[in-house]
Amino acid sequence: MTRFLTATAIAALLGTGALAQTQLETSTIESFLPRVKVETLTDQQIQGLMVIAQGGDSESEKGLKMRGLVTEANLEAIDTVEIEVQTELTEAERAEIGRYAPELDIAMLSDIDIQRLQNAIDNGDNTEIETVVRDLMAN
């Protein structure tokens, strides 16, 4: 009976050590790759990732190297986000464009051209606005 209890205690200790190692690996890997699904990694990938994590490279270098060892199948999908972009010019933006190019026909501009103009105006850089207007008038 004593042998059985000793064997059970040893097995419990060994089992706990293995679990702790897995938790350590998981937290270490997730600290560099938050989207990784550790349960999908092979033993070889985990071993390689741990070698990199414990190496002497900078944190950013480690992250880059670790990303090279995982595949898309190992990563959680990123939720897509739809962003609505305003492509209508405000009256203030129209007035600003009019200062630089009163002859520019705004109605003929594409959404991309309008966004370029809006970005230049938002940045407040007169040189950038002039450059964008000049490019649009050349087309």
Q: pLDDT per residue over 41-82, tens digit each?
A: 898 999 999 999 999 999 889 988 998 888 888 888 777 777
Question: Would you state the structure tokens that stand for residue 34, as one six-digit string?
Answer: 């938050």
Which residues pair with residue 36 across a beta bridge? 75
Higher pLDDT, 106 or 46: 46
**C-alpha–C-alpha distance, residues 98 and 75, integer Å:** 49
7-16, 28-37, 85-94, 122-131 — which is least confidently predicted? 7-16
pLDDT reported for residue 54: 93
Residue 36 Cα to chain centre, angstroms? 13
pTM over 0.85: no
**Positive or negative CA dihedral for 96, 97, 102, 106?**
negative
21-25, 50-54, 79-83, 106-110 — which is least confidently predicted? 79-83
Mean pLDDT of the chain, nearest integer: 78
Q: Are the CB atoms for 75 and 36 separated by under 8 Å? A: yes
DSSP string, 27-43: HHHHHH-TTB-GGGS-H
103: three-class secondary structure by DSSP: coil
